[in-house]
Amino acid sequence: MDDQMAYALAEMGDFGDYIVVQSEEKVFSMEEVALHSSPEDCWVVLHGRVYDLTKFAMGHVGGSKLITDLAGKDGTQVFEASHGENVLNSVRMDCCLGLIDVSTIMDEHRISPTFRERIA
């Protein structure tokens, strides 16, 4: 079955055992993201995407520590507490590496706003 047929079947709601991929973006595991957990190598998961925020952190208005504290983690909850998802649109082209495999995100990978307050 070619891609065009798979898409057509997906539109009709019947794609059986086929998975239709709508993007060519790379998919990362949290294990891989966690390897990039320092201020010098800062990958952060936000809204299902993996961002390399190493350079961006240096110019962050609130200070680089607000970003680098999230390195190697899913910082979506912390991000949502002060920003809308639309803020990511300005950095997506330069910083987005791909998608996160959400099945690999465990509780220990998530940073919550209350946890953030304890480490600040």
For residue 50, the domain's CATH number is 3.10.120.10
What pLDDT, on the 0 to 100 scale, is given for residue 31? Answer: 97
Q: Is residue 18 part of a domain?
A: no
| 85 located within any domain | yes
Considering the chain, what is the average pLDDT of its residues?
81
> What is the pLDDT confidence band of residue 86, given thresholds at 50, 70 and 90?
confident
Length of the chain: 120
Query: What Cα–Cα distance (Å) separates residue 76 from each residue in 52, 70, 91, 111?
Result: 14, 9, 15, 8
pLDDT recorded at residue 15? 46
Residue 9 lies in a domain: no
Cα–Cα distance between 70 and 116 in angstroms, integer?
Answer: 9
Instruction: Please report the pLDDT score of residue 14 as a whole number.
Output: 47
Expressed as residue numbers, the domain containing 46 is 23-119
Number of domain units in the chain: 1
**Residue 105 is assigned to a structural domain of this protein:** yes
Structure tokens at 97: 């590496």
Pure H helices in 2-120:
3-11, 30-34, 54-58, 65-68, 76-82, 89-95, 113-119
**Residue 50 falls within a domain, yes or no?**
yes
77 in a structural domain: yes
